[in-house]
Amino acid sequence: MLVFMKKFEELYVDQITLLEKQGYNFSDQHSSLANTDFLGKLLYKFLKAYQKSNKLNQPNLFYISTTGLFKKIQDEIKIVFNYKYSLAEPALSIQSLYVTMKGIGKSIPLNSNAELPKADTILETMIKAYEAHPKKKYDDFLKALDTHKNLLIQKGFDEKGLDNQWIPIDKHMDRVMEGLKTGLLENIATPFLFIMFDVETKGYFNNKTDVVEFKFGYQYDPHTVSLGLKTLTAKMDDTKTYYLKTETDLPHSSTVHKHFSENQKLLREIIPALNNKYGHAKKVRPLK
């Protein structure tokens, strides 16, 4: 019994030493991953495998999963350690690792414990795999949508800035996605072509006495999987189109309204002056 427990303890301690050596304790550079909970699971499962293998005289397989955060990227990472206990040697070996991060997974087979990669190496491997994965473009696209939504809010095109409770910012973003989906379906035979579509909304200014109609012109680039705002067309008494080099060139909604209201004021001053000067035979019609 003492020999049994001594060998079990040696193999268990060897595993802890190996994990610490390869940086899985994460005590310095990382958040806790191979923590007391992980070590407790390893002790429990290894003990069961050890007892079962000695009883049945055959190898036993088990796995342990653990989750933590790498401080370098602040993203959750999950590692599944697939173990094998062999009575013949006897030995406790890690057969493979299965690592998941940012929704993608990668299997890392090992021929021996000596091949266990360092924790930092796994992080670098997963970052490279993520950078080359289509999900990276999808995640970047979603981040860009959030950035665009925040820009619209900052530029006064949300329900507060437009004084329009009927078309809140989330509804505007839903319309953006609807326009994109429609364009993708229409271009299903030619997925390499740019997609252009418009999203409309209204703004109420000057105690709701002035109504400005806005039309946002979007362009989707299938090559870079990116969506950009290219134009803003506004209409009150007349129409003005803003051509945007970048989305940050988008004017504030109040600036657009100010352009129209100043034009109105100017016309109200000019028209009576023209009528006085040239008479009423060809009277210029004043603005309402």
Both tokens of 159, joined, read: 């329900």
Residue 57 has what pLDDT? 77
Q: pLDDT-derived band of residue 158, with 50, 70 and 90 as boundaries?
A: very high
Q: What angle do CA 243, 248, 254 make, to 5 degrees?
A: 80
Q: How far apart are CA 210 and CA 23, in angstroms?
A: 65
Does 120 map to a domain? Answer: yes
Residue 150 lies in a domain: no
Q: Are residues 18 and 128 in the same domain?
A: yes
| Residue 4 in this model has a pLDDT that exceeds 60 | no
176 and 100, same domain (yes or no): no
Burial degree of 81 (CB within 10 A; 0-12, 13-18, 19+): buried
The answer to the question of residue 140 being in a domain is: no
Indicate whether 147 belongs to any domain: no
- Mean of pLDDT over the chain: 87
Query: Same domain, yes or no, for 193 and 111?
Result: no
Q: Radius of gyration of the chain from Cα atoms?
A: 33
Is 194 a domain residue? yes
Give the pLDDT score at 156. Answer: 98
Query: Would you state the structure tokens that stand for residue 42, as one six-digit string?
Result: 């390893």
> How confident is the model at residue 115, as a pLDDT?
96
Q: Does 114 fall in a domain?
A: yes
Tell me: do 169 and 49 sit in the same domain. Answer: no
Percent of the chain scored above 70 by pLDDT?
84
Based on the domain organization, do 50 and 92 belong to the same domain? yes
Identity of the amino acid at 51: Q
**Amino acid at residue number 20:** E
Strand arrangement, sheet containing 195-205: 195-205, 210-221, 226-235, 239-243
Does position 32 have pLDDT exceeding 70, yes or no? no
In the prediction, which pLDDT does 58 show?
Answer: 83
Q: What pTM was computed for the model?
A: 0.71
* Domain shared by 25 and 107, yes or no: yes
User: 211 and 260 share a domain?
Assistant: yes
Does 122 lie in the same domain as 221?
Answer: no
User: What is the predicted pLDDT for the residue at 279?
Assistant: 62
- Provide the β-strand partners of residue 234: 214, 240
Q: What is the total count of domains within the chain?
A: 2
Query: What percent of the chain shows pLDDT beyond 90?
Result: 56
Domain that holds residue 249: 156-278
Could you report the per-residue pLDDT of 86-130, keeping only the tens digit for each?
887 788 999 999 999 988 999 999 999 999 999 889 888 998 999
Instruction: Work out whether strand 239-243 and strand 91-101 pair parallel, antiparallel, or are unpaired.
Output: unpaired
Among residues 66, 98, 132, the one where a domain terminates is 132
What pLDDT is attached to residue 226?
94
